Homo-oligomer: A and B are copies of this chain.
Amino acid sequence: MHTEPFNELLARNRDYAKGHPGGDIPPVPALKTAVVTCMDCRIDAYSALGLRAGEAHVIRNAGGRARDALRSLVVSQRQLGTRQIVLITHTTCGMSSFRGGDLRGELGPAADGIDFDTFDTPEQAAADDADWLAAHPLVLPETTIGAFVFDVQTGELRHVKTVARPSAGR
């Protein structure tokens, strides 16, 4: 099997590449920022934050959860110098519509190791994750963490909380 199932996306990519500026953009995010948000199909993360190529890492997973992003955040901070984390959950997220334990039960033993990290409200999820990261030993000192909720109907970000990780030795 070849490209047939993907021909539509490949055609769209060819259109995109025609307008691609080319050249060498540095891989180090200019805003020293890593964004963590949900995989939701209604969120165009780059556009919603007005990001330009080269400015920020964008990490996305089901719910936009921090635990699932930890591996990526460590690489982002240690290898590529980011010091600001922007956590963005969103309204009407599917991760509030089921229980992780129920899904694990349906899936059986193959899913035993998976914490689906579902939540009740996007505000609480983002706030909890900001606190969790601020206390995590792998997050660098002097990291600033912002928790936000994205409204999928209006496209607006709502600020929930800002937490600064204490400096080392304090």
Binding site for B on A (CB under 8 A): 1-3, 5-6, 8-10, 12-17, 19-20, 22-25, 27-31, 33-34, 39-51, 53-62, 68-72, 74-76, 78-80, 84, 86, 92, 94-95, 97-98, 103, 106-107, 110-111, 114-117, 136-138, 144, 146, 148, 152-157, 159, 162-164
Contact = CB atoms under 8 A, between A and B. Distances in A.
A97 B78 CA distance: 13
Given A3-B159, A17-B154, A138 B164 contact: no
Contacts of A54: 41-42
A159 B115 CA distance: 32
Contacts of A56: 41
A59 B57 contact: no
Contact of A55 (B5, B41, B86): B41
Given A9-B31, A16-B155, 15 more contacts: A3-B146, A5-B84, A5-B146, A10-B157, A13-B49, A24-B153, A25-B41, A27-B42, A41-B57, A44-B46, A74-B111, A75-B95, A78-B103, A79-B98, A111-B138
Contacts of A29: 41
Copies in the complex: 2
Nearest to A139: B110
Given A79-B97, A162-B1, A22 B154 contact: yes
Contacts of A5: 84, 144, 146, 162
